[in-house]
Amino acid sequence: MTFSYNDLLSFTQSIFIKAGCNNNDAEKASIALLSADLRGIDSHGVARLSGYIRLWEKGRINMQANFKIIHETPSTATIDADGGLGLVAGGFAMNIALNKAKNVGTGWVAVKGSNHFGIAARHAMMALEENMIGIAMTNASPLVAPTHSTKRMLGTNPMAFAIPAMHEPAFVADFATTTAANGKLEILQRKNLSAPNGWIQDKNGDNSFDPNELSKGGALLPLGGDREHGSHKGFCLGAVVDIFSAVLSGANYGPWVPPFVAFLEPPANPVGSGIGHFFGAMRIDAFRPADDFLNNMDNWIKAFREAPSIVGQPSVVIPGDPERIAQAERTLNGIPIIDKVVEDLKQLGERMNIAFPLPIQ
């Protein structure tokens, strides 16, 4: 079934308002959440709405959070998100980073006391409107085993970079620091397919091909998959995201990060507050005349897009191209949602007394 973006936005806003958000925050949260659906990242969009609400029902999201700057310098700030929605805290923090960059060239903001912030790219891309480079990362509940270990110690800890160009569309990379993100396993589960080698291990640390392995104590693997293919590098990346997001801000880090799912309790002995994010904004003209940079970026993007392909394979994909194409298509034709998620959203609507929209096809 396919739904109009505006109908989904209005439904999502109403749900957040019903949960106690003010109109302004509800709008910001909904736009951030649905940016995932628009960009084709179905795992991180409206499909998660009932997850946020369940966390709120358990008292684990504060819908009236009061974000506070608890520490700052001319180029940095640390935000206490007061247990609020990461979807809103992300935009709040990114705006501070952008303002600091306007003043002193760059801005860097760490956030504690937060919750899941949606897709990292959404926040990083706020910089593009100011012709700046944007960076966003977040830690997440532990699903990933470091190289050599059986234990889930890190989240899929994504990082996003948004880099403007002159005439070409911006370079927008947003990726989990694992071989494959959890969303890819969910697709395999639905299709009853097995996972490729190097994505997951079982609870003993042996290779597994079972996309349901995480529910049996298994773990996702860092980018690289195994030691011989550089999983220690993927582990480094996930670790840096964790440290920048949570140890710099005072959030929970590593195995102490609270789970997104409401049916799992947070660790009893927290080492910080909520989950953590890290944002950066760099003014282009803090380094060189902006037009020189933007023209070079056009040339960079063209050179890579035109690099010769391997026979039988597509062209080199410029990061952000598939999501941009999805956004254009879905803005025009609506957002497809799988039946299971539609059912879940309908139930949510009934529970919250908000009518779920009819599909447009």
Residues 29-68 touching its own copies, rule: CB under 8 A, are none
Residues 47 and 158: their CA atoms lie apart, in Å, by 19
Q: Which is nearer to its own copies, 204 or 353 (CB)?
A: 204
Residue 300 CB, nearest approach to its own copies (Å): 6
The total of other beta-carbon atoms located within 10 Å of residue 324's CB is 15
C-alpha radius of gyration, the chain, whole number: 20
Residue from 104, 166, 326, 352 that binds its own copies (CB under 8 A)?
104
Of 11, 16, 52, 108, the one binding its own copies (CB under 8 A) is 108
Residues numbered 175 to 204 that lie near its own copies (CB under 8 A) are 175-180, 196, 198-199, 201, 204
Please state, in angstroms and as integers, the Cα–Cα distance from residue 223 to each residue in 98, 101, 215, 259, 291, following that order: 30, 31, 21, 21, 35
Q: Give the Cα separation of 102 and 218 in Å (integer).
A: 45
What are the DSSP E strand ranges found in 165-258?
A: 171-175, 200-201, 207-208, 219-220
Residues 241-260 that bind its own copies (CB under 8 A): 242-243, 247-250, 253-255
- φ, ψ of residue 41 in degrees (nearest 5): -100, 70
Nearer to its own copies, 59 or 312 (CB): 312
Sheet holding 275-283, edge to edge: 68-73, 76-80, 106-114, 275-283, 132-138, 159-163, 171-175
Strand segments (E) across 188-265: 200-201, 207-208, 219-220
In the list 89, 121, 163, 345, the residue contacting its own copies (rule: CB under 8 A) is 163
Establish if 93 lies at the interface with its own copies (CB under 8 A).
no
Total residues at the site for its own copies (CB under 8 A)? 88
Nearer to its own copies, 53 or 77 (CB): 77
Torsion of Cα atoms, 121 then 102 then 139 then 326, to 10°: 0
User: What letters, b where the CB count within 10 A reaches 16 and e where it falls short, cover 87-106?
Assistant: bbbbbbbbbbbbebbeeeeb
Which residues make beta-bridge pairs with 77? 72, 109
Instruction: Answer yes or no whether residue 161 interacts with its own copies by CB under 8 A.
Output: yes
Nearest distance, CB of residue 342 and its own copies, angstroms = 30
Q: What tokens appear for 361 in the block?
A: 């096809």
Give the phi and the psi of residue 280 in degrees, each rounded to 5. Answer: -140, 150
Q: Is 229 in the site for its own copies (CB under 8 A)?
A: yes
- Lookup result for tokens 């110690």: 153
157 is a contact residue toward its own copies (CB under 8 A): no
- CB nearer to its own copies: give 17 or 181: 181
At 34, list the tokens.
Answer: 């649905």
Query: Which of 46, 282, 337, 354 is close enough to bind its own copies by CB under 8 A?
Result: 282
- Binding mask 302-341 vs its own copies (x if CB under 8 A, - otherwise)? -xx--xxxxx-xxxxx-x----------------------
Stretch that binds its own copies, among 22-30, 49-57, 226-234, 338-346 (CB under 8 A): 226-234
Query: Encoding tokens for residue 183?
Result: 């969303």
Confirm or reject binding of residue 208 to its own copies (CB under 8 A): no
Interface residue with its own copies, options 54, 300, 321, 357 (CB under 8 A): 300
Q: How far is the CB of 287 from its own copies (least distance, A)?
A: 5
Q: Which stretch binds its own copies (CB under 8 A): 49-57, 60-68, 239-247, 257-265?
A: 239-247
Based on CB atoms, which residue is closest to its own copies, 214 or 284? 284
Q: Look at residue 17 and give its three-state secondary structure.
A: helix
For residues 36 and 45, what is the distance between their CA atoms, to the nearest angstrom? Answer: 5
By beta-carbon proximity to its own copies, the closer residue of 34 and 180 is: 180
> Of 9-17, 21-29, 40-48, 291-299, which part binds its own copies (CB under 8 A)?
291-299
Under rule CB under 8 A, residue 287 binds its own copies = yes
**Amino acid at position 311, single letter:** V
Classify residue 361 as exposed, middle or buried by CB count within 10 Å of its CB (0-12, 13-18, 19+): exposed
Q: Which of 127, 297, 337, 345 binds its own copies (CB under 8 A)?
A: 297
Q: Indicate the residue among 55 and 248 with the shorter CB distance to its own copies.
A: 248
